Structure 1
Amino acid sequence: MYGNGMKQLEERHVPTKVLKMEWSNKMDLLAIAKEHGEVSLHRLTWQRVWSLAAPKDKTLVTALAWRPDGKQLAIAYDSCDLLLVDVENKDIAFSKTTESKVTSLMWVQHEKPQKKDTIDSVLIKMNGLDYLPKLQSLVLRDTPEEENKIPKVQDTLNLLLVGMANCEVQILALGIFLCGSIKLAEIFKKEGTVLNIYMPVDFSYLYVAIQYYYGSIEIVTIKLQDCDTCWDDVYDLAFKHDQLLSSLDYLDQTMKNILETWEHVSLMEMELKLSSYCPEDPEMVSTDLLELLIYGILTERMDQFLKRDLTDKGIKKIGLSIESSHTNVQKLVVNQLSEVTNQILFQLVEISGMSLKKYECLGLTEHSVEKALRSVNGFLMKCNEVQIVIEESLTRYKLFFKWLYGMMIKLNDENSASDPSLSDTSQHELNMLAEYINGLGETGSKAKDYKLDRVGQYFLDGDLECPYDARSQWWSLLQDNPCLEENELILTAPRGHSLTRQFAVLKADLMDIFAQRKTFFDKTFVFHENVALELPSGLSHGRTRVSMVDLPNHKLLVCCVRELGAHDFGFYELMAYSDTLEVTHRSTTVFYSCNGVKQNVHDVQFYSHDYVSVLTETLDEATNRFSLFIQLSTNSVRSHCSTNGLTTCRIGQPSGDSDGEGSCHTLNDYTCRVVENMAASSFAVSGTRKVAVLLSHSRHKVRLFEMEVDDEEDEDEDSAMDITRDSNLTDETV
């Protein structure tokens, strides 16, 4: 039973202007977009959950939409950025840039009768990754409260509908996979912008409200042909896309962790000392070190260098820091980078099999998948190369600094015999050390640079200064026979590419798999007749708000109101016929009058398919402005709609001297709430959560209400609120 009361929960003053508000239909959470592009999430008690800054300066939010399960929030900015934000931790789960500014968002989840699983659906949902090693935490520090949380894939198909200012509508399966795009401006040969989008949960129709540049407004009705199997295919491919993006995000974070780990400790201090040894002759330090190693000859310059520029504590510190840095990076490469790359490889193998079947019509091509497979294998080979270079570098660093430390001990006339490890060096180690010292002066990018580091070059976005020489018969065979590289069965990684450069190639190839032009919906969309919305008050002039909700039997209810200066709003009932492509419509004009005078209508939205919420403004006897929040039955309005649209409906009882228009009907099936001490300009409602929030004209004050409460509870709340009505409340931050 629908309760008539409204219970005020909170009244808050917001320091920053509020521009948009959107309720979650799954949780009592309210998303608020403010000036400067900030988006904050609040509970019913106005407790702030989190706040997210705009991705760019001087950016405003143009649209908000909740994922049907309430776990993500879609945010569109006038900078053409579209973000999907995890509600739990405000992490950016997905982002994309649109061709034009987004003006409308809607997120709808598919609801259809349960069907028996087919072989394809079972194979798609079988997670082969369960048989691979579990991915470790991305957090570098082992703290129990900071655990890695890999996003869980969604088990039900949902579509994010994106309407843009260039009259284009994009359909994103699971919010990420572009499976359809409709450019209405090209179809109708008229420029315009999308005001709102709506799709029923059965995915049968797509309704688009368009306002053309010359002012007129139309409802575009698009039939999506019965294709449950096709929707299953869309979900299958979007499911794999979601999995792949999650793994790619893990890989990206691992690369960032490697860069952070490597940047903490570097060899720059030692390299600068070696570079300043003899600036006019860069090879002199190698020559003097080799003479000291092989012949035991200590030049005067080397003697001064070891005594003045180096200290035993400094050498120990540098040696330990180098070992720590290389060991940490090696763990990340072995335990995380290689494992997640193997996961991506397994996922691509599954997608490769899908490209050989019926998914080509969704843009999945065998060529793009094969290209990505080669990139993944190339990246794995580069990871193995980095592991080998780290292992060899660690061995040489330890040997070099151990020998250098021993020389310093001897120069200081200390008893080195107390530490046998300083003089215990095999012939093999001596040969390796001599080879390492001999190559020091040849690795710098400039003539006066010295490079002890062989690993850091792999983490720069560019070509390797000193490529790794595998010295294997296999590499020699490939170099002598370039034609072998064209064989599809032979996989190679560009020898001169760094790990970061190879990762960029891999990322681009993975994104290219799902960036193909989609043709699936070109044969699925069927356009019905457009319905023009016309009102006596001149709806086509100025900015307009459009709200839509569906009814059974392919019926659609539409409400339209101008944002400024409106005294009434249009109410439409549309019904589409799939056999004739005809769309019939009935309409009426609704207004609220007080003392025979039409009052301003500021906002109209559907609370549910049974009720429409109306916000009006009027004056009391002392000419004070106040607002009325009305819950109007849609059935009562529908009963007075006509095919010619000439009827009008008045909310409330007419006054004695009101106009005597015979076609004006009185609507009595409504509830009304007086919003005292506040002139409201807009609101947001959720019939599912039974909540509402009103925004003042100044956009600095909000009031939160619980809807459908008992009348007795409402009266008790009113008496209590009268005492604190004018209290000055401030915005709380939690």
Structure 2
Amino acid sequence: MPAFRQVGEKQLPNPVLCMAWSPKRDLIALANTTGELLLHRLASFQRVWSLPPSEYTGKEITALAWRPDGKMLAFSLGDTKQVVLCGVEKAEILHVFPMQSFVTCMHWMEVTEESSALNSFYNSEDESKHFLPKLPTLPKSYSTTSKIFCEEKSDEILNLLGDIRLNILVLGGEDGFVELYAYGMYKIATLGGVSGTCRSLCLSSDLKSLSVITEVRSVDNNPEICYVQLDTGLLSDCLPEVTRMARKFTHISTLLQYLHLSLTCMCEAWEDILMQMDLRLTKFVQEKNTSTQVQDEFLELLLWGQSSPELQALLMNQLTVKGLKKLGQSIESSYSSIQKLVISHLQSGAEALLYHLSEVKGMSLWKQKFEALGLDSEAIEGAITAVGSFSLKANELLQVIDKSMKNFKAFFRWLYVAMLRMCEEHVPPELNKMTQKDIAFVADFLSEHFSENEELFDRKGKYFNVERVGQYLKDEDEDLVSPPNTKGNQWLMFLQDSTHLKDSPLLFPSYPKKSLHFVKRMMENVIEHCLQKPAEVIGKSVKQATFLPLYTVPDSSENTPRLFELPSLWNDKKAKMHYVVFCMPEISPCKLYLLRKGTDPNRHIPNSVMSIDLSHHPENTDDDNEEEAQSHYVYNCLDARFYDDEMLTVVLQGSEEQSSRRVLAQLPLASSLGCDTEFTWDPSQRLDQQSSTIPCQGLVLGNQWRELENMKAQFVAVNGIRKVACVLSANLRHIRVFEMDVEDEDDEGADSQNASADQDGLETTTNSQGQGEESLEADDEAGEQGGEQKTGEQLESEEALELS
């Protein structure tokens, strides 16, 4: 009976570029060549959901990583240079941020170190809930690109942050690009000094070092694989402070996104119909023959009840009684929606921003703790001032809306009655009463708003600016067309006369001639500058501790998928070691190499390199000759992944005449890494030039292996916690899924029950979309002519055609 139980097999319609098991559930994420992200469950390899590529994000997925709690996926896009955070429950895009470089690899780790300072922080984390009201959810009727703030019962910030414990998303790319993002959102370090293109990286769980595998061009222009260890001691030494700072800054980043989406909703509430009055008055001026001013014609109608033939034609033919009534209702509805959004969303979001920024300022003043991380109290003070200016501008918009609603109500009421009289229709008694005060109010509105403005003619052919709210919502750098009239404002007069208060830093600047969009952009820029400073300071503190050239890349491998290619990195949390597994195909194709390096660069731990001879000999000589002869194999390693701290999962290929043979095996690391022979490398030479002196161990398979019949297996993805493996063929379309530890039936049954409970929780949230995916799965299988029902020979012949 072969080891490992096969639980699923499938031919996929599109080649797979990335695959990664969830750290918490029996779920595997796949990214294919079309830019589609797929989530499959272990049982029969059924699809849970798919996230198709979109024009908003991109179509070329280059790397994939799970958040340690298994509730979120991060993937990078090469065509748009963005990183996307996707919720696992509903396949929703929760956050998108741009990158300066092409991302080639990513790693999402969780900090496991504990301290009393961290525990006290965990206990006090939710203090803001006692002082700040919960942010209102955004209206679902608007087409906001992110849905994280539209859920009725979800806490949007915790949805993104997850557990309080610090987790860090590490991104690597071309030209030595490496960045660290706390909670996958806030950039805490931009690293320099790394050469070449990052192929793989791993941040130690104690934050003491970052191991990177890079590909650089050597002197003779050949691709060279190198191992680099970076000393990230500052992050480790200041872990409680980094956690607190990252938590606060991630709150701030999320609030900025909330304000941006709130303003987007406001712009959608302000419809083009509000511009109709301006456009029709402009058309009226261009077509009329008289030399009188428009406001004079309206004032004549107000005072004498008579109008010129041109004005009457405008009112009766273009506006009409019915159209005027509809326009008035539309303006009132739009103003009311904008007013609610300003009060409930902009103001509450700005208050929360001020709260968190004030706490960050307090942290920055504690120089003993936070000065080393780059917190600058002056920059944070500037950010607080910018948020204050934004709040002032939001209040100014509220006053303009309030005044405009009163003006338009009075104006439309009067004009409606005037048009009814022109039509000689009955005027309702409740509308027919106008006091002298009402007439003066309308006259003031006409004289202020209906004057022709030749300066506006350059702005899309407009003469008029009757509607005053829209100018605040336009994303333009130009000044407001009609700034608020501050004449007679006693507070402003008092400020102008006071030499000390006029330029006081205690007062927020108001920018009376700028739009709300302009002030918001200015606030975002100031806060972004404030948030970037620690990333620069922490990045400069990171130094290179080790640089070891491993081997040159053979020319024949240039066309192979680099996302799966060795080396592979592993972080042993218990032993506090970094392990690297790799092959040197040109030097010794039948050997697998293991490099061991301590995670703490300042601690003297013996570093070693070991090799495993992939020649398998029978362990039991009492077997018959046929079995003994069959077990004499020499293998090449196609792929190797760390199953856990003590086991390595490998895909082996028979050498020479046995090249069609593929084996999935588990290699115990204890026997190889626990040997007495230590090898210390010479940094002046590549490791492949020292390969003859590297200690070697024999291959020990035992019963932990299985032949992969009728499959040109090439790559493998594993998860030792969930005890699963997924094998991918060389054509990237044929997949087999295995449960690895099948001998522990009782434990396995308990695990599968827990997994099924997880699955049930996940399936209940997929709703109609998830059900649609099941039918889509059936369509896929039908299109593949049976998929799992194909015989091994059919699968083999299809792969041969693909490879040819």
Structure 2 residues without counterparts, runs of 5 or longer: 617-629, 682-694, 747-786, 796-804
- Please say which of residues 60-69 and 93-102 is displaced more in the overlay: 93-102
Conservation of the 8 A alpha-carbon contact between 1:612 and 1:632: yes
- Cα deviation, 1:622-673, whole Å, max 9, x if unaligned, reads x894532112222233356854599xxxxxxxxxxxxxxx977342435222
Partner of 1:547: 568
User: Take 2:234 and 2:528, find their aligned partners in 1: how far apart are those partners?
Assistant: 30
User: Take 1:225 and 1:133, find their aligned partners in 2: how far apart are those partners?
Assistant: 38
Query: Measured at CA, do residues 179 and 696 of structure 1 come closer, stay the same or move farther in structure 2, by a change above 3 Å?
Result: same
1:262 to 255, 264, 270: 270
Partner of 2:755: none
Query: What amino acid is the match of 1:386?
Result: L
Superposition pairs of residues 525-544 of structure 1, within 5 angstroms? 525=542, 527-533=544-550
Partner of 1:697: 730
Superposition pairs of residues 157-556 of structure 1, within 5 angstroms? 157-185=166-194, 191-214=195-218, 215-225=223-233, 230-263=238-271, 266-279=273-286, 284-358=293-367, 359-416=370-427, 419-438=428-447, 439-442=449-452, 445-446=456-457, 449-462=463-476, 463-471=479-487, 472-478=489-495, 484-516=501-533, 518=535, 521=538, 525=542, 527-533=544-550, 545-551=566-572, 552-556=574-578
1:570 and 2:576 equivalent? no
Query: What amino acid is the match of 1:24?
Result: S
- Cα deviation, 1:64-120, whole Å, max 9, x if unaligned, reads 11111112222123343223333234444444444432222111111124526687x
Query: What amino acid is the match of 1:69?
Result: D
User: Take 1:307 and 1:257, find their aligned partners in 2: how far apart are those partners?
Assistant: 34
- Cα deviation, 1:440-464, whole Å, max 9, x if unaligned, reads 1345721753333111111001321
Partner of 1:632: 667
> Shift of the alpha carbon at 1:262?
1.4
Superposition pairs of residues 523-672 of structure 1, within 5 angstroms? 525=542, 527-533=544-550, 545-551=566-572, 552-561=574-583, 567-576=589-598, 584-591=607-614, 598-618=634-654, 625=660, 627-638=662-673, 642-643=677-678, 665-669=698-702, 671-672=704-705
Query: What amino acid is the match of 2:8?
Result: E
TM-score, normalised to structure 1, is 0.85
Query: Measured at CA, do residues 636 and 420 of structure 1 come closer, stay the same or move farther in structure 2, by a change above 3 Å?
Result: same
User: Take 1:57 and 1:266, find their aligned partners in 2: how far apart are those partners?
Assistant: 31
Query: What amino acid is the match of 1:155?
Result: I
Query: What amino acid is the match of 1:691?
Result: V
Conservation of the 8 A alpha-carbon contact between 1:172 and 1:180: yes
- Cα deviation, 1:272-317, whole Å, max 9, x if unaligned, reads 3322223166963321111010233322222333333332211111
- Please say which of residues 581-590 and 156-165 is displaced more in the overlay: 581-590
> Shift of the alpha carbon at 1:256?
1.1
User: Take 1:5 and 1:12, find their aligned partners in 2: how far apart are those partners?
Assistant: 20
Conservation of the 8 A alpha-carbon contact between 2:258 and 2:349: yes
Q: Secondary structure at the match of 2:639?
A: strand
- Cα deviation, 1:158-184, whole Å, max 9, x if unaligned, reads 222222222243332222333333323
Q: Secondary structure at the match of 1:49?
A: strand
- Cα deviation, 1:382-433, whole Å, max 9, x if unaligned, reads 11111111111111111111111101111222232xx122222222221121
Query: Measured at CA, do residues 483 and 702 of structure 1 come closer, stay the same or move farther in structure 2, by a change above 3 Å?
Result: farther
Structure 1 residues without counterparts, runs of 5 or longer: 186-190, 647-661, 714-720, 730-734
Larger helix percent? 2
Partner of 1:104: 105
Query: Measured at CA, do residues 57 and 503 of structure 1 come closer, stay the same or move farther in structure 2, by a change above 3 Å?
Result: closer
> Shift of the alpha carbon at 1:504?
1.0
- Cα deviation, 1:113-156, whole Å, max 9, x if unaligned, reads 4526687x379625234323322221245999952631204410
TM-score, normalised to structure 2, is 0.78
> Shift of the alpha carbon at 1:345?
1.2
Over the matched positions of the two proteins, sequence identity in percent amounts to: 28
Conservation of the 8 A alpha-carbon contact between 2:615 and 2:698: no
Conservation of the 8 A alpha-carbon contact between 1:100 and 1:164: yes
User: Take 2:203 and 2:555, find their aligned partners in 1: how far apart are those partners?
Assistant: 24
Q: Secondary structure at the match of 1:367?
A: helix
Query: What amino acid is the match of 1:628?
Result: V
> Shift of the alpha carbon at 1:524?
6.2
Conservation of the 8 A alpha-carbon contact between 1:640 and 1:665: no
Conservation of the 8 A alpha-carbon contact between 2:82 and 2:98: yes
Query: Measured at CA, do residues 582 and 26 of structure 1 come closer, stay the same or move farther in structure 2, by a change above 3 Å?
Result: closer
User: Take 1:57 and 1:331, find their aligned partners in 2: how far apart are those partners?
Assistant: 31
- Cα deviation, 1:550-608, whole Å, max 9, x if unaligned, reads 44444433211369999434322424486675752131143356786744432111111
User: Take 1:222 and 1:493, find their aligned partners in 2: how far apart are those partners?
Assistant: 46
Conservation of the 8 A alpha-carbon contact between 1:636 and 1:669: no
Query: Measured at CA, do residues 199 and 409 of structure 1 come closer, stay the same or move farther in structure 2, by a change above 3 Å?
Result: closer
Query: What amino acid is the match of 1:393?
Result: S
User: Take 2:793 and 2:397, find their aligned partners in 1: how far apart are those partners?
Assistant: 65
User: Take 2:442 and 2:504, find their aligned partners in 1: how far apart are those partners?
Assistant: 40
Conservation of the 8 A alpha-carbon contact between 1:82 and 1:96: yes
Query: What amino acid is the match of 1:86?
Result: G
Larger strand percent? 1
- Cα deviation, 1:665-723, whole Å, max 9, x if unaligned, reads 3424352222222212212111111111122222222222222113999xxxxxxx997
User: Take 1:310 and 1:225, find their aligned partners in 2: how far apart are those partners?
Assistant: 71
How many residues matched? 695
Partner of 2:83: 82
Conservation of the 8 A alpha-carbon contact between 1:173 and 1:234: no
Conservation of the 8 A alpha-carbon contact between 2:305 and 2:418: no
2:152 to 144, 147, 169: 147
Conservation of the 8 A alpha-carbon contact between 1:555 and 1:575: yes
User: Take 1:181 and 1:275, find their aligned partners in 2: how far apart are those partners?
Assistant: 54
Query: Measured at CA, do residues 351 and 677 of structure 1 come closer, stay the same or move farther in structure 2, by a change above 3 Å?
Result: same
Q: Secondary structure at the match of 2:726?
A: strand
1:12 and 2:19 equivalent? no
